[in-house]
Structure 1
């Protein structure tokens, strides 16, 4: 139930004022500081192939989304404009159409994202129980966005029961239990097939090792349940061991899913030096659980990475109950847009905007209601602009 998700989870606690911090430092700078060898540019998985137009700007497809989507998207546009980010927006609609009886993305939207190589997406609502396929899932399948990247790091200035969280989760995004292969065996018995392939596993695992190098994490850990699902998760685990040999500067180990969940909520700090990579369903659950450690989905960025293009998004719901009231928190979409800028190589602008966001949150004066403040959406955005 996408629309039903709250914007910031446990975000009713009072904000404390602390010094701003760097959450998602430019990847290459981190790698240099740790002295790791970085994957050669020509060998990189899912590198951004776009270039500036004659006006000196990159064109980015913008899916504003439903509910509060247009409001938080406007905040991003205003802040990017104030920061002189070399980005121009191409608004598109992904309202579904039907081709040959199947739900699909409009050709105009497909052409835009394919041409621009990158998109920023607000929350999309999916009607419940009416046979509609999730638009988020449709987008992932349409553009073969094989890896979902979810950094979860404590934000100074917003206190939760957990301190110094710094996890990165990478989720295989195209198969597993979400392959949608289901059928009725007999009345009252439904079979769902979990699909794991060597090709998809190796692709997301190679990306995870590359990502760990780029952001300066010394370890990659595969999260699995191969003790029970010996063939499917067993294949994923064997692929991980194979791919790890291509990255001798990154340590590799593996952990059972249930153990990982227990340990992360008991003490997340041992996971600060690791990138966790896992099959689809495990990643869906574990990434939301880790988001809860830092305050919820309203503070968590997300990127869906593909070989041809990538889509960065806010993963919280569309919150139709507060749409149009100016109460929405744009932080998740803003942090996702920072991930997008880093992916595009615009690290200077990413750092500038990011610092302004963290300063605004740390000050605690102009923050939205879900973070304990009283500011409207546009007032929060104005405060970020002043802190630029």
Structure 2
């Protein structure tokens, strides 16, 4: 039986973890859930040089996958690096993947203009400006290093091209700022060109980050059935922008995938101002949980949860306030749980 670590997180994270547990309890997938702590709330109580306690690291390293509810990353220079960055780097989860998809019943203003959206953002997740190499040289001068390697660039590019091929799509968009970051983005672009030779049926094109930001607002439908690939910081920003195309980031689910391990999470933050209010959208949490089940080979369970989520959203009766409904987090999760169980029966 696969073993899964469930990090309960900060802010609204525990409520979302409960929402996922509600769905899992209804469908009874053959997985062992091991609940663990991590995040700024744990760190504020215990201190130390990590937001992840040793026992959580032990559980992660003896598990088959990890689900991380949202955690808070304080902007304090003395605080340790974020939970997500720590796990990505330690477990070598180099591909952060965020599908951008319009759901029937939750159409955004832009999707009503341009039609439904369907593309995927792929982000190199272990280096770049998130490498954590920063120094304060004097009171007035600080430096951050942007580390880009051929190895990391090639493997995430290969992941993006392979995903396009699996989906039957024929284009990968690589986003750089190579006219300014000539050396570091030069390495990334060379890697994309090298990997593209392995996939002769798939086109590839380069956009600069500033133009790409404009085009995602001005002509977003041109990127449907594309995989959009970039470095760590650039794609972190672009995928948040893309979330606005489908309504809000509460709809965007994510996976962090390596060659031997994966961590799944909603793409959004911990929203601490809503803590304890039972009102945040559980869609991204539940869909990333469904993706985790499929990653573990439990396809019928994952597909049932995906279908149930889409059906509940389409009906618009048991959805949260950001989707025009009145349901609480727990009520929407319960509706999805009932529907998923029915689909499996």
If the length of structure 2 is used for normalisation, what is the TM-score? 0.90
Q: Which structure shows the bigger proportion of residues in helix conformation?
A: 2
The corresponding residue for 2:34 is 90
SS class of match (2:4):
strand
- 1:125 touches 1:318 (CA, 8 Å); kept in 2? yes
- Per the TM alignment, residue 151 of structure 1 is displaced from its structure 2 partner at its CA by 0.6
CA contact (8 A) 1:176 1:279 kept: yes
In structure 1, the partner of 2:60 is 113
1:77-226 residue pairs with structure 2 within 5 A?
A: 77-94=21-38, 95-96=42-43, 102-103=49-50, 105-129=52-76, 131-133=78-80, 134-163=82-111, 164-226=116-178
Matched, 1:72 2:20: no
Deviation at 1:185, TM superposition (A): 4.3
Q: Secondary structure at the match of 1:176?
A: coil
1:138-195 Cα deviation digits (max 9, x unpaired): 2222222211101111111012122211121111111111222223445523222211
Equivalence map 1:303-382=2 (5 Å): 303-382=255-334
1:375–1:140 Cα change, 3 Å? same
- Structure 2 counterpart of 1:266, from 215, 218, 231: 218
Structure 1 position 130, deviation (Å)? 5.7
Secondary structure at the counterpart of residue 272 of structure 2: coil
SS of structure 1 residue aligned to 2:96: strand
CA distance in 2, matches of 1:214, 1:107: 38
Which residue pairs with 1:11 in the alignment?
Answer: none
Contact 1:153 1:166 in 2 (8 A): yes
Question: Does the 8 A contact of 1:113 with 1:309 survive in 2?
Answer: no
8 Å contact from structure 2 (residues 178, 186) kept in 1: yes
367-376 vs 168-177, greater mean Cα deviation: 367-376
Q: CA deviation at 1:247?
A: 1.7
CA distance in 1, matches of 2:37, 2:255: 19
Q: Give secondary structure in 1 for the equivalent of 2:279.
A: coil
Aligned residue-pair number: 332
CA offset at residue 251 of structure 1?
Answer: 2.0
Give the alignment partner of residue 240 of structure 1, picking from 171, 189, 192. 192
Contact in 1 for aligned 2:287/2:305 (Cα 8 Å): no
In structure 1, the partner of 2:343 is: none
For 1:195 and 1:367, the matched residues in 2 are separated by: 42
Between the aligned partners of 1:234 and 1:266, the Cα distance in structure 2 is 27
Q: Return 5+ residue gaps in structure 2 as ranges.
A: 341-345
**Two-structure CA RMSD over aligned residues (Å):** 2.2
Q: Is the 2:119–2:226 contact (alpha carbons within 8 Å) kept by the matching residues of 1? A: yes
Cα distance in 1, alignment partners of residues 169 and 75 from structure 2: 39
- Between 1 and 2, higher relative CO (CA 8 Å, sep ≥ 6) is seen in 1
| SS of equivalent to 1:236 | helix
